[in-house]
């Protein structure tokens, strides 16, 4: 299955790489520092000659910053892939930095246009506008239902900032939140008490 990876490009002027090895709950052992956490995950997931489509979500703002941060992502991944040999292609989604209904509709349609039948889906929601992760959930739900897609990983990288430097990096696999969202929508014809109990059971798994 083709891997399709959605990455929200950072809008920050200053980004720094950290090592996420054995942190959080993502079970990632890649030791080299990265700016984009998904690259640490992909280092252990992509294979020789495998088709990988990277969808870079760029939010219009400072054009030079977007270009710089996009290049950082590509350089990181290409360095990782140099010893692997996967077939990587890049697609770009460029939208305005505004949260109007029309702009979110445009974002979602552009995301869906990148989905392919029987694909494996990944996402990095560390950076970018706060609304994009919600749209990723919507796009992935649509893809699972209508494109027979397999939702693999939704990744979030966390750091504390102290004296201008990133500290205490943690790499989290938050894919379970996607399934929690789907699960809550499926709760019909039950009492509120039973619904709460079902959610408790979900988190106990």
Question: How many angstroms separate the CA atoms of 188 and 173, rounded?
Answer: 28
Cα dihedral sign, 138-139-145-148: negative
Q: Return the pLDDT at 118.
A: 97
H or E, element range at 112: helix 101-112
Determine how many CB atoms are found less than 10 A away from the CB of residue 48.
10
H or E, element range at 162: strand 150-162
Cβ(26)–Cβ(173) below 8 Å:
yes
Cβ(141)–Cβ(182) below 8 Å:
yes
- Torsion angle defined by CA atoms of residues 14, 15, 16 and 18, in that order, rounded to the nearest 10 degrees: 150
Residues in CB range of 178: below 8 A, 6 or more apart: 137, 140, 141, 151, 154
Q: Return the pLDDT at 189.
A: 64
pLDDT in tens, the chain (205 residues): 899 999 999 999 989 999 999 999 999 999 999 999 999 999 999 999 999 999 999 998 888 899 999 999 999 999 999 999 999 999 999 999 999 999 999 999 999 999 999 999 999 999 999 999 999 999 999 999 999 999 999 999 999 999 889 999 999 999 999 988 777 777 776 777 877 787 787 677 7
Q: Return the pLDDT at 134.
A: 95
């Amino acid at each position: 299955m083709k891997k399709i990876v959605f990455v929200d490009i950072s809008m920050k002027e200053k980004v720094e790489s950290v090592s996420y090895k054995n942190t959080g709950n993502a079970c990632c052992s890649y030791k080299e520092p990265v700016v984009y956490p998904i690259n640490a995950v992909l280092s252990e997931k992509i294979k020789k000659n495998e088709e990988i489509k990277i969808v870079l979500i760029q939010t219009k703002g400072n054009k030079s910053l977007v270009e710089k941060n996009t290049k950082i992502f590509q350089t990181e991944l290409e360095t990782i892939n140099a010893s692997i040999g996967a077939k990587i292609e890049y697609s770009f989604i460029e939208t305005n930095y505004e949260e109007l209904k029309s702009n979110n509709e445009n974002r979602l349609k552009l995301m869906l246009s990148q989905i392919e039948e029987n694909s494996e889906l990944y996402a990095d929601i560390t950076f970018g506008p706060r609304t994009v992760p919600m749209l990723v959930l919507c796009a992935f739900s649509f893809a699972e239902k209508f494109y027979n897609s397999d939702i693999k990983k939704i990744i979030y990288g966390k750091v504390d900032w102290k004296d201008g430097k990133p500290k205490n990096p943690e790499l989290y696999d938050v894919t379970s939140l996607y399934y929690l969202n789907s699960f809550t929508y499926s709760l019909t014809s039950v009492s509120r008490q039973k619904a709460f109990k079902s959610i408790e059971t979900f988190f106990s798994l």
